[in-house]
Amino acid sequence: MKVIEHLKKAKGTLLSFEILPPLKGKDIRSIYQGIDPLMEFRPSFINVTYHREEVIYKERGHGLLQKVRVRKRPGTIGICSTIKAKYDVDTVPHLICGGFSREETEDALIEMNFLGIDNVLALRGDAVKNEQHFIPERDGHAYAEGLIRQIALLNKGQYLHEEEEEAAPTDLCIGAACYPEKHSEALNLSTDIAYLKRKVDAGAEYLVTQMFFDNAKYFAFVDRCRAEGISIPIIPGIKPLTTPRHIQFIPKTFHVDLPDDLAKALIACKTKEDVRRVGVEWSTAQARELKERGVPCIHFYTMGRSEAVRKILERVW
């Protein structure tokens, strides 16, 4: 079932969560270990992220360097198909602009459709580690708007090559990302929302937010989106802080602020267990308020770890 259909049929706040593909060398059981403890809470759908290939350069002598693509995680689409078959739950593979030409994008979408996957989350993706800014693939999309537009056209049966005009259309529900505290590259929140409106106009049917720790910013963001004519569902995404590393890593990497009360509580922590307790308590309060306010769904960023999210769900669901 499509995400948008889940949302339309819902009689209350739905639950979804997001997992990472395992590192190279691990098998599907590592995925199941992160999913099994959460399935009793009946998530409506599960997102699987995509991690693009990294590029390294190896010396070949005489001043020559060889460009080598390194893939450290297995395929998102295959993982989605496996999860869908094992748990009978809908899955949402992430599809990014980086590393894909338009033709490779079309191939991936055809594969999703063939496997009975009904949803896709369309993202630009980040720059690779050795690039200062995002560089699209040759004949690839520079922005998520273009990727969304290609998916929407494929849903109408419009393929890249004229000889495929009579091919059957795909039927994929298109999700997109949004940022209550603005995208890190946006000039300000107003311009970011203007670009978001373009993604919606291109065909996005629902939005999922970047993680945030201040519910007031989410509600204010939704109000501003509605004022700008964005009427599709906006799903809040939250992430419990569980390790001291998160305190440094998450604000820097995801460009989000920690509210004063949360920051003070984390600074006072003396052990890893203290951080986990504070993080779970804070996210529990977030989830409880969001649910009470009737948000369409709460999306948990699990990072492949289920313990903290399970504790939150036991208290809220």
Question: How does pLDDT run along the chain (317 residues), one tens digit per residue?
Answer: 999 999 999 999 999 999 988 877 778 898 999 999 999 999 999 999 997 666 656 677 666 666 566 655 458 999 999 999 999 999 999 999 988 999 999 999 999 999 999 999 999 987 677 677 788 888 999 999 999 999 999 999 999 986 655 688 999 999 999 999 999 999 999 999 999 999 999 999 999 999 999 999 999 999 999 999 999 999 999 999 999 988 888 988 889 999 999 999 999 999 999 999 999 999 999 999 999 999 999 999 998 789 999 999 999 99
CA pseudo-torsion sign 18, 16, 41, 316: positive
Domains of the chain: 3-316 (3.20.20.220)
Q: Scanning the structure block, which residue is given the tokens 């599709």?
A: 232
pLDDT the model gives residue 66: 65
CB 295 within 8 A of CB 236: yes
Spacing of C-alpha 4 from chain mean position = 16
Q: Can you give the pLDDT at residue 63?
A: 67
Amino acid in position 102: R
Task: Give me the pLDDT at residue 289, please.
Answer: 98
The amino acid present at 189, given as its one-letter code, is L
Q: Report the distance separating Cα 287 and Cα 295, nearest Å.
A: 10
